[in-house]
């Protein structure tokens, strides 16, 4: 079965399900997108890796990567292999010096690991045909970008001073709210530019 390579192009709040996020995968060298609804923890894990943030304690996906690396297991690729009743199913293709194995995985977890390992993400062509959407502009999607969700607090970041933003950033990092931290960090960087 033909596999098509994808890349993460956006991460945002889901418009279809409350308390959920959507990761948008874009077809490499193509115009289609594949939206996948994921949970908040997995969205945070993907956002942390996309933004090269280093939490004070490893997240679950960091732990998994560290475990695999310690035992010389490489993540070769992730592929989305099935779609049943709106649920995507994925496999991790792992290899060692002696063996290559496929491991079942939730798609959100597979994507969080793919970002950490820098490995390619694939989808079987019929799944993209069934669930993919054409890019509204009709243009090819170039490099991955992270569209961050809107601020989750009522606090308007633009009304805060740089010192207040730094204090708020320290507070949300301590709470391990990395998605909110990205918004605050971007506002600080915008002011310092």
Element holding 9 (H helix, E strand): strand 3-13
Among candidate residues 43, 46, 24, the one with its CA nearest the CA of residue 35: 24
Q: What is the pLDDT of residue 188?
A: 84
Q: What is the pLDDT of residue 140?
A: 43
pLDDT over threshold 90, residue 71: yes
Lowest mean pLDDT of 5-9, 61-65, 110-114, 145-149, name the range.
145-149
Phi-psi map region of 72: left, alpha, beta (phi>0 left; psi -120 to 50 alpha): left
- The token pair at 153 is 């607090």
Give start and end residues of each alpha helix (H) in the chain. 40-50, 60-70, 107-117, 125-131, 162-174, 178-192
Among candidate residues 18, 23, 19, the one with its CA nearest the CA of residue 37: 23
Q: What is the pLDDT of residue 6?
A: 97
Tell me: the pLDDT tens digits for 110-149? 999 999 999 999 999 999 998 888 765 554 433 333 333 3
- The token pair at 172 is 């949300």
Lowest mean pLDDT of 15-24, 71-80, 103-112, 134-143, name the range.
134-143
Q: Is domain 3-134 classified as CATH 3.40.50.300? A: no
pLDDT over threshold 80, residue 186: no
| 148-168: average pLDDT | 69
Is the pTM higher than 0.75? The answer reads no
Calculate the average pLDDT of the chain: 84
């Amino acid at each position: 079965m033909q596999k098509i390579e994808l890349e993460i192009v956006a991460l945002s709040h889901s418009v279809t399900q409350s308390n959920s996020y959507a990761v948008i995968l874009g077809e490499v060298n193509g115009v289609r997108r594949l939206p996948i609804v994921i949970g908040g923890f997995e969205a945070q894990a993907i956002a942390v890796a996309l933004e090269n943030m280093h939490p004070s304690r490893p997240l679950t996906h960091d732990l998994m990567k560290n475990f695999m690396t310690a035992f010389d297991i490489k993540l070769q690729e992730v592929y989305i292999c099935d779609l049943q009743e709106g649920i995507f199913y994925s496999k991790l293709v792992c290899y060692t010096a002696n063996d290559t194995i496929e491991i079942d995985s939730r798609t959100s977890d597979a994507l969080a690991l793919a970002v950490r390992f820098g490995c390619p993400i694939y989808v079987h062509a019929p799944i993209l045909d069934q669930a993919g959407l054409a890019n509204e502009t009709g243009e090819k999607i170039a490099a991955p970008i992270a569209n961050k969700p809107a601020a989750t607090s009522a606090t308007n970041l633009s009304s805060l001073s740089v010192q207040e933003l730094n204090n708020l950033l320290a507070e949300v990092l301590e709470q391990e709210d990395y998605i909110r931290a990205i918004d605050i960090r971007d506002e600080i960087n915008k002011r310092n530019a």
